[in-house]
Structure 1
Amino acid sequence: MIDQFDDLLKLANEQALKQHLFLVYTIAELPEDSTEEQRREFEQGHGGALVPAASVDKRASDIKSFADLEHEARQFIPQWDILFVTAMDVMPGHELDEAQIATLMERVVEQIKSGQIGHFVSFDRQGNAVALN
């Protein structure tokens, strides 16, 4: 059970194969065609569309904790709302090169933009897992 980012990190580091994490920081925005009710809900902290604002890839073993990751994130994106994470096994001797990482990251970002988020784990700014509808 993953309740917090650090739970995911612990599980990733316990896997037999190294885990490469793809992290996408998103910002909640109100679409221009929103209704008055949607605007009111958004002002109260609900709803909106999650728009990718920054992405990064890391080996799970390179992340010490959510606190360290969040501190690092503040340097390049001070305001974010939801972090989406997915992992990929890395076979021994088959490290991903920059082109492969860029292609995979593009695919991850496009999935989030299109709302295909079922296979991602999502977290709030405190590192708590959140379920999104």
Structure 2
Amino acid sequence: MISSYDDLIKATGSEPEPQRLLFVFCRAELPDDASPEEKAAFKRGEGGALTPVICVDKAPQEASEFSALVEESRGTGQEWDVVFVAAMSGRGGVAPSSDEAQQPMTMMVESIRLGHISNYLPLDKNGNAVSLG
């Protein structure tokens, strides 16, 4: 069971093939026409929509520390509330390249926009897994 970013990094090291990690950082937002009930729930940390604001792919060794990933995200100027992570497996001992990650990343962003998030690991700003839904 993966309950933190550290667990994820450890798990990638035990995979038979090298991995590439896909990250989609999202901001929680309310639509302009949100009802008073929706606004109240949002203030309590419930509801809203997740809008992708940053996408990046990295080899696990390029992102071994969650704090470094958070610091890099700050450099973009984009605020975020949750990051979704997925892993891609390589073949024949070769990790997927950044170019090979582009189509899966695009599909991941679109899935998140549509609310289909069950295939991804959601993490908070501290690198802890969160339950959404």
- Give the TM-score of the pair, scaled to structure 2: 0.90
1:101 maps to 101
Q: Which residue of 1 aligns with 2:17?
A: 17
Asked if the contact 2:88/2:96 (under 8 Å) is kept, the reply is no
1:46-70 CA deviation, whole Å, 9 max, x = no partner? 2211110110001112212111111
Say if 1:30 and 1:6 are closer, same or farther in 2 by CA, change over 3 A: same
Does 2:98 align with 1:88? Answer: no
Deviating 4+ runs (over 6 angstroms): none
- Structure 2 unaligned regions, length at least 5: none
What do the CA deviations read for 1:72-126 (whole angstroms, capped 9, x no partner)?
111114521000001110113474352x322221111001001111110000011
- Contact persistence 2:89–2:95 (CA under 8 A): no
The equivalent residue for 1:42 is 42
- Give, in whole Å, the separation in 1 of the partners of 2:40 and 2:11: 39
> Which shows bigger deviation, 106-115 or 56-65?
56-65
Matched to 2:72, the amino acid is E
Contact 2:21 2:58 (C-alpha < 8 Å) held by counterparts? yes
Does residue 28 (structure 1) correspond to residue 20 (structure 2)? The answer is: no
Q: Root-mean-square deviation (CA), in Å?
A: 1.6
Q: Which runs of 5+ in 1 are unaligned?
A: none
Q: In structure 1, what is the equivalent of residue 115 of structure 2?
A: 115
Give the TM-score taking structure 1 as reference length: 0.90
Q: Call closer, same or farther: CA 1:28–1:97 in 2, change over 3 Å.
A: closer
Return the letter of the residue paired with 2:97: L
The answer to which of 88-97 and 19-28 deviates more is: 88-97
CA contact (8 A) 2:20 2:95 kept: no
| Number of aligned residues | 132
